[in-house]
Amino acid sequence: MEVILRNAIDKLGHPGDVVTVSAGYARNYLLPRGLAYQATPGNLKRIAQEKSRLEALEAERVAAAQKIAESLAEVSVTFAARVGEEGKLFGSVTASDIAHQLEAQGHKIERRQIELPEPIKTLGVYRVAIRLHADVKPEIKVWVIKQ
C-alpha cells in the first residue's frame, strides 16, 4: 500500500515522501496516528501544497532536537549497584532508570526515546543513544559502579 508521510519516521522516510508499506502497518499504525495519508490523487495534490509548510515544521523540529542534543552532549549518569561475583549486578539498569536519572538532572526524556537494546547487567561505562528525532541521536555516558 502506498502512503504519503506527514512526519519523519525512522527507516521509512521524511515528510512528503511517497512510500510503499504493508497494508496492516498503514491501516493499524500510520493512518490512525496521523503519521501518513493514503496515496490518492487528491492527497498527492494536498501534500504538494503542504510540502513547504511541512518542511518548515520539520526544520523546526530538527532545530529543537539539536538544541536538546547539545545540552545532552556532556551528560553522564551514574548508577551504584550491588554486585555479585564477576561484576554482575543484582538486578539491572533499564531505560526507565536512565530516564529517571536524566529527569533528576533536569532533562525531560521519555523512556521510549532511550535506545537500550537490553538492560545493563554488568559494571562498566556504556554509551547509550537517545532518539530525539529520526536524524538526531546524541549519546550519553552511563556509568555503572560498585556500591
Q: What is the pLDDT of residues 17-50, one digit of tens each?
A: 899 999 999 999 999 999 998 999 988 888 778 7
Q: Grid coordinates representing 46? A: 494536498
Q: Residue 14: its pLDDT value, please?
A: 84
Q: Grid coordinates representing 143? A: 556509568
Q: What share of the chain is helix, strand, coil (3-state, %, to 5)?
A: 40, 30, 30
Q: Residue 45: its pLDDT value, please?
A: 85
- pTM for this predicted structure: 0.72
Q: Which CATH number fits domain 2-70: 3.40.5.10, 3.50.50.60, 3.40.50.720, 3.40.470.10?
A: 3.40.5.10
Q: Residue 119: its pLDDT value, please?
A: 93
Measured at the CA of 79, the angle between CA 77 and CA 80, to 5 degrees, comes to 145
Cα–Cα dist 103/38, whole Å = 38
Its CATH architecture, for the domain 73-146, is Roll (3.10)
Domain residue limits, the chain: 2-70, 73-146
Q: Residue 15: its pLDDT value, please?
A: 81
Q: Grid coordinates representing 119? A: 538492560
Residues of the chain under the 70 pLDDT cut: none
User: Between the CA of residue 36 and those of 14, 55, 104, what are the distances in Å?
Assistant: 11, 15, 35
Spatial contact of 130 and 75, defined as CB atoms under 8 Å apart: no
Q: Residue 16: its pLDDT value, please?
A: 83
